Structure 1
């Protein structure tokens, strides 16, 4: 990878991480808890365009969870779930753009309820938490994320140029 591509990759990753953190903190009342709608999850479609979004989303989630007062289990499990979802979204990049939000929705709906239940002692049953987390992800990652993806697709060559080989 050329030096310019490395700098571009790191800059994009840092910007994505920063935007993720800011969105979580600005919308803090709805970003955390058993019933959450984390607006920053709209960014989880970005690996569709650039591999820089993979570390960007991971680091952004890690920082946001730590600053949001998350316990260690939440900070680690939530961030690793975001990392896995970002990687899977990157792997789906050659498919339909409407599949880009599937990994974050599915992985978060499966993993996060267990963190809420056993990390925070949430009294609600796991299946209910799966539904609430899943619905929050559908609203943010699927609906808002797909709108973001469609808008950014128009500017793909300008915004995300020269990062395809950065993986």
Structure 2
């Protein structure tokens, strides 16, 4: 994606990733682990994809935006949770090593989503700092599980799929 125009293939890739992200997040919500201080969205494993496919970045943002429409934290999560995913995707796209690719989503979500949940729980009161410390850790741990374990599998297995290798800048 070196220029500002998207090819049909890049748009289709982004669309598939957006749909997959939203469906996986809704699936996690069935188990009560998609929203809240203790969460592990299966869809977050996809946040490592910009390392392999730059076209994944807009798809992750749109998919997260759609998934966050069901968030109990309302507009704050729809806006800031989705922006956390966009920031993480852009940062992941520019990482140089596959073992660092899961780190941006973990950090962005721990900080931004942890702050959203804490604000919803306490507002900007004296209890915010304690709530933020707790929520940042719990969101970060869930994100680390999704991104390093499940996302790590994607980073290892997807480059071995011949049909996908042509689409990866480093393999192309």
Q: 1:77 aligns with which of 80, 90, 105?
A: 80
CA distance in 2: counterparts of 1:117 and 1:71, whole angstroms: 13
TM-score by length of 2: 0.85
TM-score normalized by the length of structure 1: 0.87
Match of 1:7 in 2: 8
Q: Which of 149, 159, 164 is the aligned partner of 2:164?
A: 159
Structure 2 residue 146 is matched with structure 1 residue 140: yes
Contact 1:43 1:145 in 2 (8 A): yes
| 8 Å contact from structure 2 (residues 88, 104) kept in 1 | yes
SS of residue paired to 1:30: coil
* 1:1-167 equivalences in 2 (<5 Å): 6-28=7-29, 29-92=32-95, 95-121=96-122, 125-155=131-161, 158-159=163-164, 161-162=166-167, 164=169
Supply the RMSD in Å over aligned alpha carbons: 2.1
Kept after mapping to 1: 8 A contact 2:35/2:72:
no
Residues 20 and 60 in structure 1, CA contact (< 8 A), matched pair in contact too: yes
How far does residue 27 in structure 1 lie from its aligned partner after superposition? 1.4
Question: Greater relative contact order: 1 or 2 (C-alpha under 8 angstroms, separation 6 or more)?
Answer: 1
Aligned positions, number: 159
User: Which sits farther off after the overlay, 46-55 or 67-76?
Assistant: 67-76
How far apart in 1 are the matches of 2:52 and 2:109?
21
How many angstroms does 1:8 deviate by?
Answer: 0.3
Q: Once the 2 structures are TM-superposed, how far is the Cα of residue 99 of structure 1 from its aligned partner?
A: 0.7
- Native 8 Å contact 1:52 1:163 kept in 2: no
SS at match of 2:99: helix
Structure 2 gap segments, 5+ residues each? none
How big is each residue's C-alpha offset from its partner over 1:30-59, in whole Å with a ceiling of 9 and x where there is no partner? 111111111100000100111111000000
More helix by share: 1
Shift of 1:86: 0.3
